[in-house]
Amino acid sequence: MKQTEVILASLVCACVFSSALGQSKPLVTEWVNEDIHGVSAITELIPFEKQNIEGVKARLRKDWHVEEFNLGFGAKYLELEKGWGYSKGYVHALTYNDRVARYEAGIESYSEHWPQIKARIVSEWKRSKGPGASEEEHGLVFRQTLVNVLSEYQANVALTLGSQTPASVPPELKKSYRSLTDPMKNSTLSGTRGDEDIETLVKAKRIDLLENVLRAYNPGARVLAALALLELEKSGARPSSQTHAAIERVLNLNIDLHACVYDMCSYVTAQEALRWFDSGLAWPKIRLPQKKP
């Protein structure tokens, strides 16, 4: 073959091979039917605040993932999840004294086939009289906040840790600050690496925001903020006596937190985590802002 013919043949083979690699596996009808049938299992749980939660947990425990975490101050975080063909359905709820304060319910899929089945899932959601849900990249989600119940929980936290102070949050810090104060999140403690969101606030020298995280509703983030404030004090920061009292309370709360050293993880209290991390020696040094000369 001539050189030109060889090049053309190679290009054709490359295109065919590339096309074959790019082809998705065909949809499994049985799995799609599972996804569609599962939608009503979620919409039937909405509005979740009107459900008998203990009854729901008992009924679903056999076939669903059902797990509940104590967040302290009368609050718990409940996970209800069920996997189907290409997706899973879920309800995640924050409860206070056995009443729903906030929850999100929806369908989630990270399958390559989600774009192909999305329209059918959305149609089934509407057919089964699901409430208006946000269509997001990997699924549908309905979010609801019961303001009165959430406010009671927040007031109870403030009685022990003190109230947060009004603070302006610039755009570049909003994502980190929102995550660290979110009542629906519980940050993991790590004995071998830092926390990106906490370090973002530290680098910005926002002591006021760290103090708010200390008094907010993410149990793991509260501990991270307490440790960050203690480190910052070594470099000249002067937390108030009220903040010191809040730090001591946070580090001594009897709340199970998710903590890891490398790939070893466990649920422990803050004090147990610090002992596990060799009395803090394994805790990563927080990178403090450099002082100007």
The per-residue pLDDT for range 18-74, each reduced to its tens digit, is 334 445 689 999 999 999 999 999 999 999 999 999 999 999 999 999 999 999 999
Give tens-digit pLDDT for 94-139: 999 999 999 999 999 999 999 999 999 999 999 999 999 999 999 9
Q: Are strands 99-108 and 139-145 parallel, antiparallel or unpaired?
A: antiparallel
Read off the pTM: 0.85
- The span from the CA of 213 to the CA of 226, in Å, is 9
- The span from the CA of 82 to the CA of 41, in Å, is 9
- The residue-averaged pLDDT of 257-274 equals 90
3-state SS, residue 121: helix
HSE of 121 in the Cβ direction (CA atoms, 13 Å)? 32
Residue 257 is which amino acid? L
**Residue in the structure block whose two tokens are 């649920």:** 267
- The residue-averaged pLDDT of 133-152 equals 97
Residue 282: pLDDT above 60? Answer: no
Q: Which residues pair with 257 in a beta bridge?
A: 268
- The span from the CA of 89 to the CA of 38, in Å, is 7
Per-residue pLDDT, 206: 95
CB 223 within 8 A of CB 189: yes
Per-residue pLDDT, 290: 54
